[in-house]
């Protein structure tokens, strides 16, 4: 089972901004490659929102320019509002198109990107800047580099974290974090960096990557929750979903009653004792940070508590008493009994559904070839022939 752990959207849905991108499009008169078809749709959607594609695509011959001219002739002044999420959506698609990456458009909409928006980078913890060349400028990043832009593994991080991560995955990020920790222990020098990030930041990056990689259960049990899962992230390891569920409880009033009820759902007295020992170790570390009124600082207090060795020792002792299937069962029962803290939503996804739309067979690239007849007729809203993820 995979878990989509998310907070409920706090914004109203802009239905106009997420209108079907292929609506009312004329069918191309000549066969197009997948790449050309995607560029045409991208130019069309710029025109649909009254935007000019960035240079040189509006001036020089390209599929983007062809789509923009066709869309401009069709819509005229009857365009949609180019909201900030819409601009981000178009920028992401242009970035992907230039690199041949797939974008799944049924779920990756302006509204979806709005739900990913945060004020601080989860890796560096710096507030996002506004300048495009600022290292703290927000960017949408794919945690899995063998997948395209699709719902479930996209996060908003800073440009600095994005450039440092590059193609690193979980294991390589763990290795870098450990090496930096070892370097720091050798003397009272400035904290060593790798690609601009320190050991703590690489540790958060490693944990963030681990959420979307299926790990052996025992390996997943050993990982501290150094960063809470961002909104709409899919958690591939059930024990991490349980770990995040317990941690999220402390961010919402009424956690004491919910934790007691959660403990009662655990299978067996030994497991319940181990959980109680763990939670009574975690709680004082969180409370030591005071009671921050800023939700962001409250999240950091929970994350930092997981950095204590005794917390991890007692978590591992508890987690190893459960199988992956038992973790799934406990979570399912907790959801059924409405033990979710306010604003949190958990939905179980089948393994096959969890990566639907990721284009894993082509490692996230748009397949070569010509556009199918159905797509030429405007019945597809995806940038690659892939399915829709429902959750």
pLDDT computed for residue 17 by the predictor: 36
Sign of torsion over alpha carbons 209, 211, 212, 215: positive
Bond prior to 256 in cis (omega within 30° of 0) = no
pLDDT computed for residue 133 by the predictor: 63
pLDDT at 131 over 90: no
Sign of torsion over alpha carbons 57, 58, 60, 61: positive
Q: Buried (b) or exposed (e) across 147-171, using 16+ Cβ within 10 A? A: bbbbbbbbbbbbbbbbebbeebbbe
Q: Determine the length of the chain.
A: 391
pLDDT, tens only, 183-221: 888 876 667 899 999 999 999 999 999 999 999 999 999
pLDDT band at residue 15, thresholds of 50, 70 and 90? very low
* Exposure on the CB side of residue 381, measured as CA atoms within 13 A: 15
Single pTM value for the model: 0.87
pLDDT band at residue 352, thresholds of 50, 70 and 90? confident
Non-local (6+) Cβ contacts of 107 within 8 A are 150, 151, 357, 388, 389
What backbone phi and psi angles, to 5 degrees, belong to 79? -110, 165
pLDDT at 376 over 80: no
Distances (CA, A) of 168 to 174, 210, 224, 287: 10, 11, 19, 34
User: In the chain, which residue ranges form alpha helices assigned H by DSSP?
Assistant: 34-48, 63-75, 84-98, 110-116, 159-165, 170-184, 199-210, 217-221, 238-249, 255-265, 269-287, 295-305, 309-319, 324-336, 351-354, 373-376
Q: What value does the mean pLDDT take over residues 299-312?
A: 97
pLDDT band at residue 6, thresholds of 50, 70 and 90? low
| 134 or 234, higher pLDDT | 234
Q: Buried (b) or exposed (e) across 99-124, using 16+ Cβ within 10 A? A: ebbbbbbbbbbbbbbbbbeeebbbbb
Q: What is the CA radius of gyration of the chain?
A: 23
Non-local (6+) Cβ contacts of 108 within 8 A are 89, 92, 149, 150, 151, 154
pLDDT computed for residue 41 by the predictor: 97
pLDDT band at residue 7, thresholds of 50, 70 and 90? very low
Q: Tell me if 377 sits within 8 A of 27, measured CB to CB.
A: yes
Q: What value does the mean pLDDT take over residues 25-29?
A: 53
């Amino acid at each position: 089972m995979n878990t989509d752990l998310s907070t409920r959207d706090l914004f109203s849905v802009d239905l106009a901004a997420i209108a079907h991108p292929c609506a009312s499009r004329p069918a191309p008169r000549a066969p197009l490659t997948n790449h050309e078809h995607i560029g045409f749709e991208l130019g069309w959607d710029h025109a649909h929102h009254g935007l000019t594609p960035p240079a040189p695509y509006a001036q020089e011959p390209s599929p983007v320019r062809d789509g923009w001219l066709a869309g401009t002739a069709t819509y005229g002044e009857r365009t949609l509002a180019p909201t900030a999420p819409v601009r981000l959506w178009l920028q992401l698609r242009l970035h992907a198109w230039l690199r041949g990456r797939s974008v799944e458009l049924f779920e990756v909409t302006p509204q979806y990107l709005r739900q990913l928006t945060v004020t601080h980078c989860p890796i560096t913890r710096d507030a996002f800047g506004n300048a495009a060349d600022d290292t703290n400028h927000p960017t949408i990043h794919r945690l899995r580099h063998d997948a395209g832009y699709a719902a479930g593994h996209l996060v908003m991080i800073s440009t600095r974290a994005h450039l440092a991560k590059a193609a690193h995955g979980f294991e390589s990020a763990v290795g870098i974090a450990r090496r930096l920790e070892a370097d720091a222990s050798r003397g009272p020098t400035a904290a060593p960096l790798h690609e601009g990030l320190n050991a703590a930041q690489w540790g958060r990056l490693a944990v963030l990557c681990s959420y979307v990689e299926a790990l052996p259960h025992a390996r997943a049990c050993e990982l501290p929750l150094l960063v809470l899962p961002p909104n709409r992230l899919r958690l591939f390891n059930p024990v991490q979903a349980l770990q995040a569920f317990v941690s999220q409880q402390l961010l919402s009033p009424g956690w004491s009653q919910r934790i007691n009820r959660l403990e009662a759902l655990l299978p067996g007295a030994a497991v319940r004792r181990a959980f109680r020992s763990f939670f009574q170790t975690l709680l004082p570390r969180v409370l030591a940070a005071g009671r921050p009124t800023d939700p962001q600082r409250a999240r950091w207090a929970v994350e930092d508590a997981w950095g204590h060795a005794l917390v991890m020792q007692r978590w591992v002792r508890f987690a190893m008493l459960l199988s992956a299937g038992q973790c799934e069962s406990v979570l399912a029962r907790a959801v059924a009994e409405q033990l979710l803290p306010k604003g949190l939503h958990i939905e179980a996804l089948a393994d096959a559904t969890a990566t639907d739309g990721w284009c894993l067979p082509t490692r996230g690239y748009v397949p070569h070839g010509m556009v199918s007849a159905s797509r030429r007729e405007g019945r597809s809203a995806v940038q690659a022939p892939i399915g829709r993820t429902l959750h």
